[in-house]
Chain A
Amino acid sequence: MYSEKVMDHFTNPRNVGEMPDADGVGTEGNPVCGDVMKIFIKVRDDRITDVKFQTFGCGAAIAVSSMVTEMAKGMTLDEAMKITKSSLADALDGLPPQKMHCSNLGADALHKAIEDYRKKQGK
């Protein structure tokens, strides 16, 4: 049902945890629907220097969260804004069709974290 890459990121998720001093935080999803992703970012000179995540959800949701943190680390904010659901799914060698939308919230949560950071900077 899941690719080897999904299973790898699910069983050994990268960058798990909270970041108390995060520069931006984004949450997407709802436990009623099944999946919630919370992404924390640290930003220096417009570049993401560290990322952490916490996820409530199925195997796909956890794998997507892990993958999005791996992809985003080291990217500029503009580059990270270009990560999409489909680029995430591709990086995981695909997701089952029914998991494409509800479990694939990693990009949205990351974008929200970036928006949060930018809003705070704008102050």
Chain B
Amino acid sequence: MKTIYMDHVATNPLHPEVLDAMMPYFREIFGNPQSIYEPGIRAKEAVENARAGTAALINAKPKEIIFTSSGAEANNFALKGIAYAGRNRGTHIIVSKIEHHSVLNPARFLEKSGFAVTYVPVDKYGTVDPDDVKKAITKETILISVIHASPEIGTIQPVEEIGRIAAERGIVFHVDAVASAGNIPVDVRALNVDLLTFAAHQFYGPKGAGALYVKEGTRIVPLIYGGIQEGGRRAGTENVPAIVGMGKAAEIARRDMQKRMDHVTPLRDRVIDGALKIDRVTLTGHPEKRLPGHASFVVEYIEGEAMLLLLAGKGIYSASGSACSSKALKASPVLISIGIPAHLAQGSVVFTLGEGTTGEDIDYFNETFPQVISRLREISPYAKGWEGAEDPTCTVKK
């Protein structure tokens, strides 16, 4: 059976050039970059080359890049590291309501540790109003953290404006750019950011490789203490092959970015046009200010996990923010924060395209998606409407 991968926001296959670049560092040049003999020196050189390539992707200086094991680690590092470095100046943090769990959960941890956190709301498209950020600032505020692009609804935030507000007040500004960096232009100077999280597997690099950009002169406390790796700011023997892969993937992303964007944007528009022809299907997220390969919807009267499974049965791989498809069995906080009622959030489905997506894939998708929806609506008690489904309380014990 033909399979069509439409979950590029979950992860991506390794670019062949990236794999080639990584291969020598598993066996031939396996040295520890901290060793002073030849294999160590060569590994160290490879890490520093990768740092330069990674930095260039976001217009940073190489020494402003700290490699981590993932985007989640970099987000944790940013929040905890800045909070603990700045606690003598203040104990207030601002984040948006549509942050990734790897920002929201450290924020909740910091709340339990004596910090105050303001969760700034978003509008129906999932956009943060920079004025709301401005109003949330107190004399205690030491950190503002906002996601650049939402993996769930694709919306791109006005981070440049928020960055300007933060800079005017001398507040550290962190951006979670995991879903955006490598896919759309991200320039840390233009965006006025002090810290920025990104991850290699979002742009055809390996899993297990992330980075935190920390602007020169920004004080941050380590998350992982130990040796002197990464300038003493992130201990642990460097994951040399993965770091090399991240550097190579960053170089390719910089080289091919416009081509990739031009490839996925019209295909994405065809997915949206096709899906919106179906009765009771609505787009989630911003209609224009969204990731170029990202199409997300709410399909009424049916549930997301069932859609994913039927689509997978037809070879189409996608994602959902429904409660049933999450291990936590909770509707996505992002969908709730943009005002989607919980019963509609159950019908969430997300399609993300990549460089391998073809026009024929989209033809097949546009033919298959309506079939899957009708099939599940035939089974649903609500196919004719939401009557009798108004009870907002959850009576079933989980």
Q: Measuring CB to CB, which residues of chain A are less than 8 angstroms from any residue of chain B?
A: 2, 7, 10-11, 13, 16, 27-36, 38, 54-62, 98-99, 101-103, 105
Interfacial chain A residues near B382, Cβ < 8 Å: 31, 36, 56
Given A31-B382, A98-B329, 4 new contacts (CB under 8 A): A30-B396, A33-B398, A34-B329, A58-B325
Contact with A along B326-352 (1 / 0, CB 8 A): 010101000000000111001000000
SS of B interface (majority): loop
Interfacial chain B residues near A34, Cβ < 8 Å: 303, 322-324, 329, 331, 346
Q: Measuring CB to CB, which residues of chain B are less than 8 angstroms from any residue of chain A?
A: 301-306, 309-310, 313, 322-325, 327, 329, 331, 341-343, 346, 378-382, 386, 388-389, 391-398
Interfacial chain B residues near A33, Cβ < 8 Å: 323, 394-396, 398
Interfacial chain B residues near A61, Cβ < 8 Å: 303, 306, 324
Closest 8 CB pairs of A and B: A58-B324, A31-B343, A54-B381, A58-B305, A32-B342, A33-B394, A34-B323, A34-B324
Interfacial chain A residues near B397, Cβ < 8 Å: 101
> By the criterion CB–CB under 8 Å, are B329 and A62 in contact?
no
In the assembly, what is the distance between CA of A28 and CA of B381, in Å? 12
Closest residue on chain B to residue A38 by CB atoms: B381
> By the criterion CB–CB under 8 Å, are A32 and B379 in contact?
no
> By the criterion CB–CB under 8 Å, are B325 and A55 in contact?
no
> By the criterion CB–CB under 8 Å, are A36 and B323 in contact?
no
Q: How far is the CB of A22 from chain B (nearest CB, A)?
A: 13
> By the criterion CB–CB under 8 Å, are A55 and B323 in contact?
no
Closest residue on chain A to residue B378 by CB atoms: A16
> By the criterion CB–CB under 8 Å, are A57 and B306 in contact?
yes
> By the criterion CB–CB under 8 Å, are A36 and B389 in contact?
yes
User: A58 with B378: in contact, given A34-B323, A101-B396, A105-B396 (CB under 8 Å)?
Assistant: no
Closest residue on chain A to residue B398 by CB atoms: A102
> By the criterion CB–CB under 8 Å, are B306 and A32 in contact?
no
In the assembly, what is the distance between CA of A55 and CA of B396, in Å? 15
Q: How far is the CB of A12 from chain B (nearest CB, A)?
A: 11
Interfacial chain B residues near A10, Cβ < 8 Å: 306, 309
> By the criterion CB–CB under 8 Å, are A30 and B395 in contact?
yes
In the assembly, what is the distance between CA of A103 and CA of B324, in Å? 8
